[in-house]
A and B are shown apart, each in its own frame.
Chain A
């Protein structure tokens, strides 16, 4: 039995995942605190507890994400791009294009059958289409974040939101609310603006089927549907889309361990 782990320290959430041979044994997701090093220890400990293991039992750890260099117990760090591709192809072997919509960034990745990255583009300069964008929209509309997707599907006449810029979109939303436009229709408009933005990112790397969406926003069904419309492909979505990066890191850990053992 081989035990390895992947730790993904993102801007908003940290994830740890323990792999037993080729099976997910346990994982944990917690908010990223001010101290990324502390966060990495905490999230790892929770995953270890769930797996009823100790850190000493884990033979190899790969870290990834923004905070990947500060994980003290990692044997190696690998960019989140490679980890997302690796993790997505493991879950869905037919996947060749991945859109990762995270807390503060967006990535488009095209990969081969082994999960090796062929082409990627990322946008972490602008909050459009990130978790932060939807947090602000939920606040502005006084709606619970996790309800946005479902509500938007009930729209009858999508409102026009001309900009995916959070600040401009927010003022457009306020104007629409003042005019009494139904929140569901506004939500549909927001999703359309975001889908357009991420579609441009996907086109940069080229779209090849199958197509998967990962990251926290993959849980927003309204956004997923709009992106599917633009791409013209159905999106494959993991049961827990937030742990795909950590899964990829754990798979890299497994490979690295096999190399070391050779």
Chain B
């Protein structure tokens, strides 16, 4: 039994292939302007890596495909589509069965999901209309600071005193960052301030939904250790981060696909 989950995000498409509930292949690529083609390519990429290992499977022979993410409606070859909230919940619980709060920070959205003890979604809040608290916020500010977005996390750990960024709006925060740069504030302090600002925003969303332990952080931004630390400091709890946090939605979709085939 081979199934696939594909998560069409605003920036990247992620695919996860499961064989008998085991992850056997994954892939990530840029979404671009054509979500449907990107989704197909992502699954084919993952299948190619399977073929290299002697498992020959074609897209048409997959037993079940579940699509999720903002672009899920464009994936015409999927058998089913499921919301990001559901897929995040299923994916996160699979890795960390004790999780009750899932925070997902993606490229252009963020959400907080509260789960029951059994893993049912009890409440959630999402933001996809405003760049604050998303990966885009980090992207824009990293550019202004002049460092690659992947370096932000490590650099921020060296901060002695985070610079306070009072605006949540990316555009206003940008002006604050520029004025710190002009005043020669060390960039690690500025970056730490940027991370605190995201943490404040996310913490507010967590407050709205209500936080239950354990807490997991997923989505591409979870790879930024500075954001994880800032959020842990704000919440006062440790936060679980899975390996490949950006794949959790696609993993959830794949698990739902497997369930549909009766293997879970």
By a beta-carbon cutoff of 8 Å, the part of chain A in contact with chain B is 104, 125-127, 132-133, 136, 163-168, 171, 175, 178-179
Check B131–A168 contact: CB distance below 8 A.
yes
Which of B14-22, B152-160, B162-170 lies at the interface with chain A?
Answer: B162-170
Check A136–B131 contact: CB distance below 8 A.
no
Check B129–A125 contact: CB distance below 8 A.
no
A-B contact pairs, 26 of them (CB 8 A): A104-B172, A125-B167, A125-B168, A125-B169, A126-B168, A127-B169, A127-B171, A127-B172, A132-B171, A132-B172, A133-B171, A163-B129, A165-B130, A165-B170, A166-B131, A166-B169, A166-B170, A167-B131, A167-B136, A167-B171, A168-B108, A168-B130, A168-B131, A168-B136, A175-B33, A179-B33
Check A126–B130 contact: CB distance below 8 A.
yes
Check B171–A168 contact: CB distance below 8 A.
no
Task: State which of B33, B140, B167 has its C-beta within 8 Å of the C-beta of A167.
Answer: B140
Contacts of B169 on A, CB cut-off 8 Å? 125-127, 166
Q: How far is the CA of A164 from the CA of B129 in the complex (A)?
A: 8
Q: How far is the CA of A215 from the CA of B257 in the complex (A)?
A: 54
Q: How far is the CA of A127 from the CA of B176 in the complex (A)?
A: 14
Distance in Å from the Cβ of A100 to the closest Cβ of chain B? 18
Q: How far is the CA of A126 from the CA of B131 in the complex (A)?
A: 10
Number of chain B interface residues as a range: 10 to 19
Q: What number of A-B contacts does a CB cutoff of 8 Å give?
A: 41
Distance in Å from the Cβ of A8 to the closest Cβ of chain B? 20
Q: How far is the CA of A166 from the CA of B129 in the complex (A)?
A: 10
Which residues of B, 26-42, contact A by the 8 Å Cβ criterion? 33
Contacts of B136 on A, CB cut-off 8 Å? 167-168, 171
Measured CB to CB, the nearest residue on chain A to B129 is A163
Q: How far is the CA of A15 from the CA of B49 in the complex (A)?
A: 65
Q: How far is the CA of A183 from the CA of B128 in the complex (A)?
A: 25
Which residues of B, 164-221, contact A by the 8 Å Cβ criterion? 167-172
Contacts of B130 on A, CB cut-off 8 Å? 126, 163, 165, 168
Contacts of A168 on B, CB cut-off 8 Å? 108, 129-131, 136
Measured CB to CB, the nearest residue on chain A to B171 is A127
Check B129–A165 contact: CB distance below 8 A.
yes
Distance in Å from the Cβ of A108 to the closest Cβ of chain B? 18
Q: How far is the CA of A175 from the CA of B141 in the complex (A)?
A: 21
Contacts of A126 on B, CB cut-off 8 Å? 130, 168-169
Contacts of A104 on B, CB cut-off 8 Å? 172
Distance in Å from the Cβ of A139 to the closest Cβ of chain B? 12
Q: How far is the CA of A178 from the CA of B33 in the complex (A)?
A: 10
Q: How far is the CA of A154 from the CA of B169 in the complex (A)?
A: 31
Contacts of B171 on A, CB cut-off 8 Å? 127, 132-133, 136, 166-167
Contacts of A163 on B, CB cut-off 8 Å? 129-130
Q: How far is the CA of A172 from the CA of B219 in the complex (A)?
A: 22
Contacts of A175 on B, CB cut-off 8 Å? 33
Q: How far is the CA of A175 from the CA of B168 in the complex (A)?
A: 25
Contacts of B129 on A, CB cut-off 8 Å? 163-165, 168
Check A167–B168 contact: CB distance below 8 A.
no
From known contacts A126-B130, A175-B33, infer whether A167 and B170 are also in contact, taking CB-CB under 8 Å.
yes
Q: How far is the CA of A171 from the CA of B170 in the complex (A)?
A: 13
Q: How far is the CA of A40 from the CA of B100 in the complex (A)?
A: 54
Q: How far is the CA of A178 from the CA of B172 in the complex (A)?
A: 27
